[in-house]
Amino acid sequence: MDEELVKDAFHNNNDVEWLKFPFQINDLDDKTNEELLNHFTGERTGFVQVGPKKWFFPSGYRKNAEIYYNFQARPSDVWVITFPRSGTTWTQELVWLLSNNLDYERAFQTPLDARFPFLEFSSFVHPLVKEEFLQENSHSREKSLLVEEIASPAWKTFMQSSDRRFIKTHLPFSLLPPNLLKVGCKVVYLARNPKDVAVSFYHLNRLFRTQGYTGNFPQYWHYFKNNLQPWTPYWSHIHEGWTRRHEDNLLFMFYEDMTADLNACILRLSHFLGVKYTQTQYQTLQEHLKIDNFRNNKSVNLTGLKELGVIRSDEEDFVRKGRSGGWRDYFTGELNQDADQWIQHNLKNTDIRFPKLENFY
């Protein structure tokens, strides 16, 4: 049993207490579940909601929830935590390069998802979908092994690694190890305005066959704002990061600040990570991260997943526009009014302040 394997490893290597997962995991109601299964073909069993905030996940999350909660962070770790489509990939590449002596050659040669693995991705690969991927790639032993690799829990890889670990997750703080910010590792939390997030997440759900969304954007927005998408509720996720923004070892950033002044954000991240480079080196890094260059960088664009058929070739690429304000092409008329009311309602009783909030209306 995976949980027993992890418990044994933790006790043998770390002499730490195994914590009981503090939240109930409940199946989604039958009617809503059936509707979602019709619209999201990558899930075959059903969806769950976790705890009083009703964090939303596919069925595969249930198996690993307690493992994620008990994952043992190390002082040398570097984590990037975001709600999906908040500039995660951009930030991962920036953080990895700053932390690895600006090693562009290695960055180009090694895919970002190998340098900076996604902690909970395996929970989104349904066993039946995995079998479909294996059948489609059965002509190639190499590709079949890659399918097995992407469906294998990343926590196993992290546990076995003796190197410095770079960890990506979309899990909110309340579902992550309670001591994450106390062990000395560096954690970067990035937030992005919800309209751009929703549009980008819509495209990702169409792109990834593990999600397999078949509907239109207005229907998707209904699911997003009603917390029927993985990792929602969006506002609870942002709030959990925001309330920790003054803690040591956490750097809270906004995607909009990165698009407005990338150089300033590079310097801020560099200071947070405890590294320093020359002005020329920073300029080269900024050029590397420009969206046109980034969009054409195969190392960050999940080219391998496209070759395996995990992501579709007839949808927009994983790295899309890379700009703020693209929501205006999707939120029009009553849909935009609905989104504005939703944003205003959810910001009313918080001190969360997005940069240039007026640009979201």
Cα atoms in the 13 Å half-sphere on the side-chain side of 167: 32
Q: pTM for the complete prediction?
A: 0.93
CATH assignment at residue 237: 3.40.50.300
* More confident of the two residues 74 and 314: 74
pLDDT at 314: 63
Q: What is the pLDDT of residues 341-358, one digit of tens each?
A: 999 999 998 999 898 665
pLDDT at 305: 86
* More confident of the two residues 280 and 320: 280
pLDDT at 318: 45
pLDDT at 360: 62
CA–CA separation, 282 and 273 (whole Å): 14
Mean of the pLDDT values across residues 92-117? 96
Residue 138, domain member (yes or no): yes
CA–CA separation, 308 and 255 (whole Å): 30
Residue 241, domain member (yes or no): yes
Instruction: Supply angle C-alpha 158, 160, 164, rounded to 5.
Output: 55
Q: What is the pLDDT of residues 129-165, one digit of tens each?
A: 999 999 999 999 999 999 999 999 999 999 999 999 9
Residue 335, domain member (yes or no): yes
Whether the pLDDT of residue 230 is over 80: the answer is yes
pLDDT at 257: 95
Listing DSSP states for 219-268 in one string gives HHHHHHHTT-STT--HHHHHHHHHTTTTSTTEEEEEHHHHHH-HHHHHHH
- For the chain, the domain total comes to 1
Q: Identify which of 5, 16, 17 has the alpha carbon closest to the alpha carbon of residue 159.
A: 5
Whether the pLDDT of residue 72 is over 90: the answer is yes
* Confidence band of 85 (pLDDT split at 50, 70, 90): very high
Residue 49, domain member (yes or no): no
Residue 44, domain member (yes or no): no
Mean of the pLDDT values across residues 74-92? 96
Mean of the pLDDT values across residues 62-66? 96
Residue 145, domain member (yes or no): yes
Listing DSSP states for 107-173 in one string gives HHHS-HHHHS-BTTGGGGS-HHHHHHHHHHTTT-HHHHHHHHHHHS-HHHHHHH--S--EEEE---G
- Say which range, 40-49, 237-246, 270-279, 311-320, has the weakest mean pLDDT: 311-320
Whether the pLDDT of residue 54 is over 60: the answer is yes
Which residue range forms the structural domain that includes residue 90? 73-360
Mean of the pLDDT values across residues 254-279? 96
Residue 235, domain member (yes or no): yes
Q: What is the pLDDT of residues 192-208, one digit of tens each?
A: 999 999 999 999 999 99
- SS3 state at 49: strand
Cβ proximity of 118 and 154 under 8 Å: yes
Residue 286, domain member (yes or no): yes
pLDDT at 1: 43
Q: What is the rounded average pLDDT for all residues in the chain? A: 91
pLDDT at 293: 81
